[in-house]
Amino acid sequence: MCQNKCRFFGFNPRLKKCRVHWRAFTSGMSDEIGWRYYSHDSLSLDCSDLRDTGHTNSGVYKIYPNGNISLPVRVYCNMETMDGGWTVIQKRINGSLSFDQMWTDYKNGFGTPDQDVWIGNDIIHQLTKEKNSYLYVSITLVNGTALYELYNKFSISDEAGKYQLFLAGPATGTLGDSMLNTGYSWADQSGMYFTTPDRDNDGWSGGNCGVKWSGGWWFHACYRAYLNGQWYSADWSSDPWGTISTGQSVRETMMMIRRH
C-alpha cells in the first residue's frame, strides 16, 4: 500500500478507504471523523492488527512481523472464527503440495497462503516471541465434520533453539488434546524440538521420526498429533490426530495463531 516512499497512511474502516502520505501534520486530523492515521511504526504485525484496523474479510493479506516495510509476508487471515484476527501458519486443503520437506524449507516456509502452506518457522517464531498467543487447530473430515482444539499458549524458539515448541493449556474443543497432555509420556509435544528428514531432533532412539513419517514436526517418539504427513494416505499413520483413526478420513487441516 505505502511502498518505500510513503511514511504515513490513513484508514477509514467505515468508508473502507486508505490515504497515503509522504508527510503528515497532526493538526486538524481529529476533525475528520472515522479516519485513523498511522506511521510505519504501526505496520500490521499480524492478522490481529489487521482486524483492529477494520479488515473483516478472510483472505490473503500482507503483514510485517519484523516491523520492517521492506519485509512483507503474505499470509491467510481468518477473520471469522472466534472474532477473527487469526494468522494461519499451516493449511492443507487439497493435498497438491508435499509436506515431505527439509529443514531449510520449513525454516523459510513453502506453499501458497490461500491453499496448502507452511508459513515458515522463522516467521512463526517472530509472531510468537515475547507474546502470549493462542493456537487453534482444526481438522475437517471428508464427511464435512469440522473439529477444533484451542490451546491457551503457544510459541516456538528461534533456529538456534531448534524451533523448540512451548505449549500450555487449558486445551478445549471438540478435537481432543493430542499434543499437550496425551496420556502417553512419549507423545507429549511441549518442549520438543522441530525435526525434519534431514535434521533429527526428536526423542525417538530408534531413528528419525521425520524420515519415518515423511515430514517436519515437533516429534517426540514419535507422536499422537501430526498434521504434515503424506496426504490422504493410510501411511500418514493410524492416527494423524489421536481421535482420528486414519489420514484417509481428513479433508482439511489448519493451524492458526492469535495473540492474547
Q: How far apart are CA 183 and CA 193, in angstroms?
A: 20
Per-domain boundaries in the chain: 1-42, 56-61+76-259
What CATH number matches the domain at 56-61+76-259, 2.170.120.30, 3.40.50.300, 3.90.215.10, 3.30.70.1450?
Answer: 3.90.215.10
pLDDT of residue 12: 81
Long-range contacts of 67-70 (CB under 8 A, 24+ apart): 67/41, 67/43, 68/43, 69/2, 69/4, 69/40, 69/43, 70/4
**pLDDT tops 90 at residue 90:** yes
**pLDDT tops 90 at residue 32:** no
- The secondary element (H helix, E strand) that includes residue 52 is helix 47-52
- Cell numbers that stand for 102 in this block: 527439509
Q: How many residues does the chain have?
A: 260
What confidence tens digit (pLDDT) does each residue in 196-248 have?
A: 999 999 999 999 999 999 999 999 999 999 999 988 776 665 568 887 767 77
**pLDDT tops 60 at residue 20:** yes
| CA angle in degrees (0–180, nearest 5) for 1-130-68 | 25
**pLDDT tops 50 at residue 183:** yes
**pLDDT tops 70 at residue 108:** yes
pLDDT of residue 18: 75
Residue 26's pLDDT band (boundaries 50, 70, 90)? Answer: very low
What confidence tens digit (pLDDT) does each residue in 112-121 have?
A: 999 999 999 9
pLDDT of residue 69: 85
Q: For the ranges 4-8, 9-13, 48-52, 74-78, which has the lowest average pLDDT?
A: 4-8
Residue 9's pLDDT band (boundaries 50, 70, 90)? Answer: low
What confidence tens digit (pLDDT) does each residue in 125-181 have?
A: 999 998 789 999 999 998 999 999 999 999 999 999 999 999 999 999 999 999 999
* HSE of 194, CA atoms in CB hemisphere, 13 A: 28
pLDDT of residue 30: 44
Report the pLDDT averaged over residues 4-29.
Answer: 59
What is the model's pTM? 0.83
Under DSSP, the state recorded for 249 is: G
pLDDT of residue 238: 56
Instruction: Please provide the average confidence, as pLDDT, over all residues in the chain.
Output: 87
- The secondary element (H helix, E strand) that includes residue 107 is helix 103-108
Compare 67 and 252 and report the one with higher pLDDT: 252
